[in-house]
Amino acid sequence: MATYVMLTTLAPEALKSPGDLKGLERKVIDKIRKELPQVKWTSSYAILGGCDYLDVFEAPSEEHAAKVAMLIRSFGHARTEVWTALSWERFEQLIPT
C-alpha cells in the first residue's frame, strides 16, 4: 500500500466550541472506517501553522486517498491537501547509480 500525507484546515465556522472537535473527529473516523475499510491510519498530529492537522495513512490506491479527502470535505468544514509519500529508504532505492 502507498503512504499518503494529508494536511487539513478547518473553516473558522466549523466548530462552535473547541469541545465540538471530538464529536466531529469521531464522525469523520467512523465514516472513513465504514466506507473505506482498506485505508489504514498511521498517525495524526495537530500542527501550529497554516494548517490545523497532519494525518498519515496508507491506502491501496490514489483513488482511495482521494476518497478520504472527499469524505472529510463532505462534512463541509475543511480544506485538504493530499500528498504521496515515500519512505527515505524506498526513495534511496529509486536513485539511479
Give dist(CA 93, CA 30) in Å, integer: 36
- Whether residue 20 has pLDDT greater than 90: no
Q: Is CATH 3.30.70.1060 what the domain over 2-94 is classified as, yes or no?
A: yes
- Whether residue 18 has pLDDT greater than 90: no
Nearest CA to 3 out of 71, 50, 89, 62 is that of: 62
Using left for φ > 0, alpha for ψ between -120 and 50, and beta otherwise, residue 79 falls in beta
The residue count for the chain: 97
- Whether residue 65 has pLDDT greater than 90: yes
- Share above pLDDT 70 across residues of the chain, in percent, rounded to a whole number: 100
82 band by pLDDT with thresholds 50, 70 and 90 = very high
Q: Look at the block and give the residue holding cell 498517525.
A: 43
pTM of the model: 0.87
What mean pLDDT is predicted for residues 79-97?
A: 94
